[in-house]
Structure 1
Amino acid sequence: MFELHGRTALVTGAGQGVGAGIAELMARQGAAVAVNDIVAERAEEVAARIREAGGSAYALPFDVTDQGAVAPAVRAFERMVAPVDILVNNAGNGGAEGFRPTRFRDSDPADWQRFADINLFGVMNATRAVLDGMCARRHGRVITIASGAGTQGLNIGVSLYGAAKGGAIAFTRHLAVEHAREGITANSIAVGLIDPASSGRQASATVAMAKAIPVGRLGKPEDIGATCVFLASREAEWITGQTWQVNGGAPTT
C-alpha cells in the first residue's frame, strides 16, 4: 500500500527541513523526486542523499516566486526526466529570514507583499506549471503545505503569514473542485509546530510551546512526509479539497 512506483514528484522548498523529509519519504516509496530549492547546493545535497539511499532524485533549483523561472524549469525537467504526477507545494516561510512576530496594527505595509509572494503566489506558480500536463494525462496530485495559522486566529503576531497560508488553503480547495473530473486531487496540510532543529534553527520559544501539544512533542519532517505519501497514493484517490490537520492534536477539529 501507499506505493509511488512509476510516479514523479516535484517537492518545492525541499533543500531542508520538512521539504527534505517529504522528498526522502516519497523516494523511499518509489517515486522519482525533483528536489527544488532556491539554493542550488541545498537541493543537490538532498538529491544526493536520496540517491545514496537507493532512490531516484534530481536537483531542480528555482525561486517559486519568480513566475518567469518556474515554468521553464519544470518543462525542462519533464523533457529530460518525466512528467510531474505529484506536486508538493512546500516552499514557504514567515516572510523573510529574521522575521519577528508582529501584530497587524504594528506591521509595515511595505512588508505585506513578501508574505503573499512565497506562501500564496509561489503555490500558484508551481501549480500552474504542472497543471496542464496533469489534465492532459488525467491524473495528478497537488498537496499544499499550509499551517495552522491559516485555519485559526492566533495571538502570536502571525496575521500576515496566516493570511497568506489561508489563501493557499482556499486556492487548493477551489483547484480540487475545478479539476476533480480530470483525475486530479488537491489537498492541504495545516502543519502544527515543527522542531526547528530540522531546518538548522534554534528551538527558542517552540520548545516551551511544545508542552501544550497533547502528544507531548514537536513535529518532525517525517510526520508531514508520511501524510504526503498517503495523499499522493492511489489509496487516497477519493480524498480531495480537504485540509488535513497534522499537529499532534493542537488543535483538534
Structure 2
Amino acid sequence: MASTDNPLDLSGHTVLVTGAGQGVGKRVAELAAARGAAIVVNDFDADRAAAVVDELRASGTTAAPAAADVGDFEQFGTAIDTAVAEIGPIDILVNNAGNRGAEAPAHAPRPFWEQDPSDWKPFFHVNLDGAMNATRHVLPYMIAGNYGRVITVISDAARVGEINGMESYSAAKAGAAGFTRSIARLSGRHGITANSVALGATRTPAIADAIADENFAKKVLSGYIIRRFGDPEDAANMILFLASGAAGWVTGQTIPVNGGYSLAL
C-alpha cells in the first residue's frame, strides 16, 4: 500500500494504463512510475508499448507490456493475464485509450442522419467497449485485494455534445462516464473507487494537426478561462490524485480538467 507519510505515493501498487503509448497515457505511466508504482503499459501498437516499457525499466521501474486492442475482449484479456503473471495483480486502472475518429469512418463531413452503424461503431469500440473490457478484466483482482482505483478519461464532449461527425464520440464518452458511476456503486463495498476525468482540449497527437491551425486554435481558446491548451501533465496530475490514497473518499464523480471551459457554458 502507499506510504502513510505521503498519500500521493503509489509504492506497492500496480497501475494499468490503456492507450499508454503516447500522449496523456504515456505521461500518466511516467508519473505513476515516479511515484513508485509498477506499470502495465497497454497500447494497440506493440512497438509503442514496448518503447514505453523500455523507458520505464531503464529508470528502474517494474513494467510489463500489454499490447492489445482494448476493445477486443479476448485479445485484451490474454495480454492482461500475461502481464499479471509477470508483475502481479493490478489494483489501479486508468481507462485512457480513446478514439476521436482520425482512423474511423465516423469522422466524416456527412450529417449523422446519413450515417450507418459502420460509421459509429469504431467510436464505441474503444471509448466505451474498451473501458468496459479493461474494467471487467481488472476488477476481480481489485475485489480479491479489497482495494482498487478506476479512473476513466472522458471528454467535455460527453456533456456538451459535439457535432459535425463527432456525435458518436460524444455518446460513447457519455456512456463511459455513466458506466464508471455504476462501477462506483457496484464496487465501493470492496474498497474500490471509480471516477472519471473530463478533459478539455489537450496537446496530444490526436489533436496536434487541428490546433496547429491558428484560426482554429484561437476559436477554441476563446471558450477557456485559462487561455491555453492543456498539457498531458495537467491531465495526469488529476488522474494520479484520484488513483492515490488521498482520494479515498471520492467516488462516482466526473472531474473537469479543462481550463475553466465548464464556466463558459
Same fold (TM over 0.5): yes
Higher RCO, 1 vs 2 (CA within 8 Å, ≥6 residues apart)? 1
- 1:3-18 mapped onto 2 (5 Å cutoff): 3-18=9-24
Cα distance in structure 2, aligned partners of 1:194 and 1:115: 19
CA change 1:199–1:42 in 2 (3 A) is farther
Cα distance in structure 2, aligned partners of 1:79 and 1:51: 17
Give 2:172's match in structure 1, choosing from 164, 172, 178. Answer: 164
1:184-210 CA distance string (max 9 Å, x none): 1000011110114x5684234552212
Say yes or no: does 1:109 pair with 2:117: yes
Query: Among the aligned pairs, what percent are the same residue?
Result: 45
How far 1:120 sits from its partner (Å)?
0.4
Which residue does 1:182 correspond to in 2?
Answer: 190
Instruction: Report the secondary structure of 1:60's partner residue.
Output: strand
Which residue does 1:217 correspond to in 2?
Answer: 228
How far 1:118 sits from its partner (Å)?
0.8
- 1:1-253 mapped onto 2 (5 Å cutoff): 1=6, 2-97=8-103, 99-100=107-108, 103-196=111-204, 198=205, 201-202=208-209, 203-205=211-213, 207-208=217-218, 209-252=220-263
Amino acid at match of 1:115: F
How far 1:175 sits from its partner (Å)?
0.6
Aligned residues: 252
Instruction: Report the secondary structure of 2:93's partner residue.
Output: strand
How far 1:13 sits from its partner (Å)?
0.5
How far 1:213 sits from its partner (Å)?
1.5
Given the two structures, how large is their TM-score scaled by the length of structure 1? Answer: 0.93
Unaligned runs of 5+ in 2: 1-5
Given the two structures, how large is their TM-score scaled by the length of structure 2? Answer: 0.89
Cα distance in structure 2, aligned partners of 1:122 and 1:109: 18
How far 1:100 sits from its partner (Å)?
4.0
Cα distance in structure 1, aligned partners of 2:195 and 2:112: 28
Instruction: Report the secondary structure of 1:225's partner residue.
Output: helix
CA contact (8 A) 1:211 1:217 kept: no
Unaligned runs of 5+ in 1: none
How far 1:77 sits from its partner (Å)?
1.4
Of 122-131 and 201-210, more deviation after overlay is shown by: 201-210
Amino acid at match of 2:54: A
